[in-house]
Amino acid sequence: MTELTELTVAAIRTGVAGGDFTAVEVAEAFNANVAAASQLNAFIVATPEKAVEAAQAVDAKRAKGQDLGKMGGVPIGMKDLFATNGVQTTAASHMLEGFVPQYESTVSQKLWDAGAGMLGKLNLDQFAMGSSNETSYFGNVISPWRRKDGGNADLAPGGSSGGSSSAVAARLCPAATGTDTGGSIRQPAAFTGISGIKPTYGRCSRWGVVAFASSLDQAGPMARDVTDCAIMLEAMAGFDPKDSTSLNLPVPEWEAGLNPDMKGKKVGIPREYRMDGMDPEILKSWDDGIAWLKDAGAEVVDISLPHTKYALPAYYIIAPAEASSNLARYDGVRYGLRDLPEGAGLQDMYAATRADGFGPEVKRRIMIGTYVLSAGFYDAYYNQAQKVRALIARDFEQAWSQCDVILAPTCPSAAFALGDKTSDPLSMYLNDVFAVPASLAGLPAMSVPAGLNSEGLPLGLQIIGKAFDEQGVLNAGLAIEQRAGFTAKPEAWWK
């Protein structure tokens, strides 16, 4: 029999429902993998008892002949940005270290209601700010992948959902939650050879998710294949009256609607995404993706997204501006860290708490955001960036008259070594160049593995769809997945 930890979400759910194995056996197998992989630092907190408790409830339901739910018997990892009742929620920061919510985020509650169990809280870039999982207060997450030339350099798992991507790729969990503000589901998925989808903005509730940039943040699933992402997204999505930006729309049956036949569909190839100096292996994987979608019956058309080059600068004005506002609440008064030097007044406490509680990248973004929102610069920067955002959204709207989905690379490179880009924030920010436009437009976008580069590292392809058309994105992803035949997995050097 296949090892339980090699099974997908769909296979676990079917096996538990059919009595091939129990949910408790699955939970214990993954708990053992989590315990053996501390070297990867993917989890901030492991919760083996929570996974077993949820599994026991599923097994009891099966014994009574009751419905097990969409995720019945599947243990998952929860990014430590989602509030979990009674379990520490830190956003990978010192500021929230030791904060234990007395409530559950809407997304996590939906997953528990669907029969999933929690293996633990996954590491991430602090307050979801980063592209390599090197800004966490709890240390770097290490990718399970290694370059095949024998180099032992620790590689970045991507960010900010690096704990999620590393854990899924290393078989520590079959699936995990992620959040995507400017590529934080798609880029880590591409770096680690897994799938991940950012749904349309508002599809999944933001209630109970620690805020970074409220007009961009969106939760989504990360899993080993497209089918698993569809299953998990169905469980996560849905209207939430507690979130004012939540979409009041029924949740489609994405899993049932999966169809890799692209006949009658047009796939747009944005010419602006072919940039000078691009990695030839990234270009080759993109060309492979075009050929695969043609093979699936799609017609490929050339399109233009003329404002693409302004997306990254606009994003790095809008996101820090919203972050500086959202993170103002961490003041040492209401909850979280309080640093009160002896004889200090209120202003001193604010300053000491924020100086101690936030890491360098978070401080950098707060300062950028505060600067662009200040009286003298609001119109020059923030207002201009919002205008650019509207133009980027319009570019996509016009492109939809020519195509149904857009195909592009997920990232400009494969995974880089930890430490390679930390000295230059701008080179780190450039990692998001292909991911940010879809985020600014609030569109669904997915990364699927396309193959390995010459160093044996995964490369991802990105599919961007029309608003609310997650089905079209998933179907194109499935067409690529079936033709790419990606089965590579990292060797378990950490065991």
**Distance between CA 131 and CA 184 in Å, rounded?**
7
Question: Residues near 197 by Cβ (< 8 Å), separated by ≥ 6?
Answer: 185, 220, 221, 229, 233, 444, 445, 446, 447, 470, 473, 474, 477
Taking Cα atoms as reference points, which of 6, 27, 378 lies closest to residue 16?
27
Element (H, E) at 268: strand 266-270
Burial code of 276-285, b = ≥16 C-beta within 10 A, e = fewer? eeeeebbeeb
User: Using a CB cutoff of 8 Å and minimum separation of 24, what contacts does 435-438 make?
Assistant: 435/180, 435/182, 435/183, 435/186, 435/187, 435/410, 435/411, 435/462, 436/182, 436/183, 436/311, 436/312, 436/315, 437/305, 437/308, 437/311, 437/392, 437/395, 437/396, 437/464, 438/198, 438/396, 438/462, 438/464
Tell which residue, 255, 168, 260, 186, has the closest CA to residue 483: 260
Residues known to be catalytic: 79, 160, 184
Nearest Cα to 53, choosing from 73, 83, 78, 30?
73
How far apart are the two ends of the chain, measured CA to CA in Å? 21
In sequence order, the 6+-apart residues with CB closer than 8 A to the CB of 175 are 9, 74, 76, 77, 168, 221, 222, 223, 224, 228, 229, 232
Count of C-beta atoms within a 10 Å radius of residue 344: 13
Cβ atoms 310, 392 nearer than 8 A: yes
Are the C-beta atoms of residues 185 and 161 closer than 8 Å to each other?
yes
